[in-house]
Chains A and B, each alone.
Chain A
């Protein structure tokens, strides 16, 4: 069965510092992996996705993630945090392009000026 874990329910970084949000998954097949961002009172917006092409994936707003099969990880990074990055971030997995999408519990990112 698919599942997603996100280490750290709350992460605080200073403005301009590196952002690192952790995601580990389990899947019986090579998965599709996603990072979504959610701002208050909004739906989920796709940041980036891994679909078995390049292992280093670049997304919107300067975020990127690296798929590491040996570690079953898909950590999200951004070199320099901006105040506008404060939001809830969700890692998700799907076994096919038409299967259910399973979400992790989320990580709340705070950016300190």
Chain B
């Protein structure tokens, strides 16, 4: 919530369609994360960026998910094609060089029907 804007807040799509989420953190923060939170579970890390580079994408389903970070600031997460099990809240977070904790946006709630 501290300086992380995410859009859209809600999205409903049909299975096999594609969708994209945007994250706009406070400029200048090196580390950016995308998490997937399925209802009733804790957030699961999908991908971590350090500046423009990917540090950890071991949990990202790369056959359908992709993410990029532009100029070390904004980021997009895309799903193509979506499956029913992708229904979840997608959270973006950042962590500054002087911060020990991660700051989260309000998330995008995706429903795949």
Contacts and interface: CB of A to CB of B under 8 A. Distances in A.
Interface in A20-46: 32, 34, 36, 41-46
A87 interface: no
B35, B42, B99: residue with the most chain A Cβ atoms closer than 10 Å: B42
Contact of A44 (B48, B55, B91, B100): B91
A97 B100 CA distance: 5
Nearest to A90: B42
Interface residues on B, range: 20 to 34
B100 A100 contact: no
A23 B63 CA distance: 34
Nearest to A101: B102
B45 A100 contact: yes
Interface string B46-87: 001010000110000000000000000000000000000000
B101 A104 contact: no
Contacts of A44: 43, 91, 93, 104
Contacts of B112: none
Nearest to B35: A103
Interface of A: 4, 32, 34, 36, 41-46, 49, 51, 90, 94, 97-98, 100-106
> Which 10 residue pairs spanning A and B have beta carbons closest together?
A103-B42, A43-B104, A44-B104, A43-B106, A105-B42, A103-B43, A97-B100, A51-B100, A106-B42, A46-B101
